[in-house]
Structures are given as structure tokens and as C-alpha cells.
Structure 1
Amino acid sequence: MRNASSIRAVHAWLMVLPAMAVLVGFTHWPAVATLVDSFFSTPKGGREAVWVGVENYQVMADDPVFWKAVRNNLLFAAATIPCSIGLALAMALWVNERIAGRAFLRMAYFTPTVLPMIAVANIWL
């Protein structure tokens, strides 16, 4: 009995392995590599990158343009995220009501989500 469950566990991990490899390869590894590279100077021409530690972060913290960019990004996020969530909720409630053309409206909202999947499926065929 124990042997069958361990085989199932190995089978499950083997099924998840390709997705985990893609996730690590395209998200986690580049993030860690970027963090490590941030402690080195920028290589230029024939000069190699040199360890500078937190100097890059100190220069960035002293730059007023950086803080303006941070402020602009926070303002943009504070404005767009609640508005997009509110608009999406309002549209979902509107399409859920009993109105003429409800099926067409639902199709119009859902089609942009489905079309890329259909295109990928046709490419793989």
C-alpha cells in the first residue's frame, strides 16, 4: 500500500516538474540574477563588472529622479488599480442583470480572453 502511494507521489512530482522548471527558469532565476548583478558595476567595453556592494543603491537613493519615479508609480497604481477593479465589478454586475442582449454582452467580454487560447491551440495542431 505504501509503495503505491509513493509511486503516485513521484508521478505527481514528475507531472509538475515541467511547469516548475519553466516558472523557475523564466521568473525566479532572472530575479535572483538581477539582484546579484545589482551589486556589481556596469561592464563597459573591455572592462569587466566590479563588486561595488550597496553603492548602486546609495546612488539611487540620493537621486531625486528615482524618488519622482517612485512617487509617480505609486500614484499611478493608487489610481488605476481601484478604478479597474471597480469598473470590472460594475461591468460584471451589469452583464449579470436580465437585459436584452445579455448573451451578446457576455460573449463580447469573454471573446478577447478566449481568442489567444484558440490561436495557440491552432498553432499546436
Structure 2
Amino acid sequence: PKLGMIIVKKRGSARFFARDPRNNRQLINPPPGTIIDHTVTNQEWYDFYLISQMARQGTVAPTHFNVIWDRTGLKVDHMQRLTQKLCHLYYNWPGTIRVPGVCQYAHKLAFLAAQSLHTQPHENLADKLFYL
């Protein structure tokens, strides 16, 4: 099977800006879908920053993706686009989120298990997404 492993880090201090096309001297938040994969990334790693959502207030915070294992055969830009598209797959929010939906679901499941599941869930829930 083709497999890829990516470390997703949403807590970071990097901030990026774009020039406002209406006023070249003013800086604005980059639009959603912006990928930064040079200059500020590590030249020895397969990593990139992704801005997947809009900031309603303040500065948008990018998410850092570090591909540590890649046997998918995808081109770099296809892997980057795939991560952006996966940020649309969280169905509890109408827009994009900072991390791919599968990461957010895993986070919610881990939180639920740590906080409230001290016994096995009922067998009728085995094939349901009850933790949402």
C-alpha cells in the first residue's frame, strides 16, 4: 500500500503577510490556500506551511506540515493541495479549519476518551461516530 506520514503542527510562531493589491504599501493576511514551501522552510526537510482558513481578526496563523515518510508517489504540489482539501472535511464547521479534518476528529476522539470514557462504549455504537 502507498503510505505517507505527515507531522501537523498548528502551534507555531511563524506569521506571513501579503501585499494588498489595492495599496502596495499595506500588508494583509494571505488568502486561504496559500502555501509557503521555500525561504522559511528547512532545505533538508520535505515541509511546508499552509494557510487554510481566513482570520476574522488579527493575523492568520499558518499550519506547518512536515512530511516524514512518503511512499504515495504524489508530486509535491499534489500533496500540498491534498492537505488543503482535507482541511475542508470537518463537518462540524461550515468553512475550512487549520488542520486536516482527520486530525481534528482524532483530537476530539482522544479528548473524549481522556475525559469521559472509563468503560467500553456500548456495542451498538461500534460503527457510529458517537464521539462527535
TM category (shorter chain) comes to under 0.3
Between Structure 1 and Structure 2, the one with more strand by share is 2
Give the TM-score taking structure 2 as reference length: 0.22
Q: Normalised by the size of structure 1, how large is the TM-score?
A: 0.23
Largest Rg, 1 or 2? 1
Considering fraction of residues, name the structure with more helix: 1
Comparing both chains, which one has the higher relative contact order based on Cα–Cα distances under 8 Å and sequence gaps of 6 or more?
2
